[in-house]
Amino acid sequence: MKISFNGQLDDVEQGIVQLRDELHKNPPGNGSAKQVELALLGALDNMQLAKQAWDWPKPTTEAPNQETLEEWLFGDGACEATDSCIVEPDGVCPHGHPSWLRKLGLI
């Protein structure tokens, strides 16, 4: 069987949405419906992050060194994207390249 990464993520996402519907119809009797729902929503967010990261284009510049990364992390709110555009530290440039901080999972 051939696995399509993004297709599988869509399936997982669908499954989580169904679980959430089910939760609304049949909440657990122990009063933890809210916690379950929050966890499911977090899982949905993470699925979206995974799909985005899968589609990010290949970096066109060298990865920055530790010192530069720290400047971006603790600096004035500007950061380089993986194609050297200037973006917000958690941003993606108009060409679809994520900031290095995002790419490296630092924020």
Between 47 and 92, name the residue whose CB sits nearer to Zn ion.
92
93 binds Zn ion (CB under 5 A): yes
Give the per-residue contact string, 34-73, with Zn ion (x = CB under 5 A; - = no).
----------------------------------------
Report the C-alpha gap between 7 and 77 in whole angstroms: 35
83 binds Zn ion (CB under 5 A): yes
Between 85 and 106, name the residue whose CB sits nearer to Zn ion.
85
- Concatenated DSSP letters of 12-74: HHHHHHHHHHHHHHS--TTS-HHHHHHHHHHHHHHHHHHHHHHHPPPPSSPPPPHHHHHHHHH
85 binds Zn ion (CB under 5 A): yes
Give the interface size with Zn ion as a residue count (CB under 5 A).
5
Nearest Cα to 80, choosing from 64, 94, 96? Answer: 64
Binding site for Zn ion (CB under 5 A): 83, 85, 93, 95, 97
